[in-house]
Amino acid sequence: MRPFYPLILALGLALPLPAGAQTDPQALSTATQPATLTVTGTGTVEAAPDLATLTIGVTTQGATASDALAANSDVLTAVMARLTTAGIEARDMQTSNLSVSPNWTGYDSATPTISGYVAINTLTIRVRQMDGLGPVVDAAVSEGANTLNGLYFGLSDQEPVLNDARKLAVRDARARAEFLATAAGVTLGRVLSISEGGTGFDPMPAYRAEAASVPVAEGEIGLSASVTMVFEITE
């Protein structure tokens, strides 16, 4: 009779391993991932503005659209000439709006009529010398500008100030991470990733009056930056 041992051995090798003895790829992957700590830091640097942008306007009226526009052009030409004398370059003056519209009367009647026309021309101006801002506004108004729609302060080059804010944000994030790691009783390791959040500025009023000109709130600009950092931690 032939022995059956080889068959019995083969069947034994074909049996599956118990569930507890199998390797779980997901568990193995999780076990190899480092523990991490994620923090966000912010930094703000204040700087004096070196650029101002304002929008002035000239509004005129006339019996016809042509009359209103011609009167407006005369005034605006005088305003621009005066601004040039005050040190504003041609590249820093730009027409931002021009409109001519009728003036209606008799809205409460069945037949409203046109009583004349209104021309509006607005000019956006950049002032690069803060000491000259008040005189520039004075110059524009003295030549016939009769509206001021906005005044904004800024920096001609924000990047150096933003870089300082970014440095402070990284320093703040690391300080937060060190504090949290100490509080949690873990050791802070290497930086795994850094990502930058948004940047922005916050104008702060600081009033300064200039002799024989309009008082100006020159202000300071607080440029801010934020970063998110991921650190490796160990027990």
Could you give all domains of the chain from N- to C-terminal order, each with its CATH number? 33-48+158-234 (3.30.110.170), 51-154 (3.30.70.2970)
Q: Would you say residue 22 has pLDDT above 60?
A: no
What's the pLDDT tens digit per position in 58-96?
999 999 999 999 999 999 999 999 999 999 999 999 999
Instruction: Give the per-residue pLDDT at 32.
Output: 74
The closest alpha carbon to 156, from 229, 56, 76, 49, belongs to 49
Instruction: Give the per-residue pLDDT at 131.
Output: 86
Give the rounded percent of residues in the chain with a pLDDT score beyond 90.
Answer: 62
Taking the whole predicted model, whether its pTM rises above 0.85 is answered as no
Instruction: Give the per-residue pLDDT at 214.
Output: 62
Strands (E), the chain: 35-47, 51-62, 93-105, 113-127, 147-154, 187-204, 207-208, 216-217, 220-234
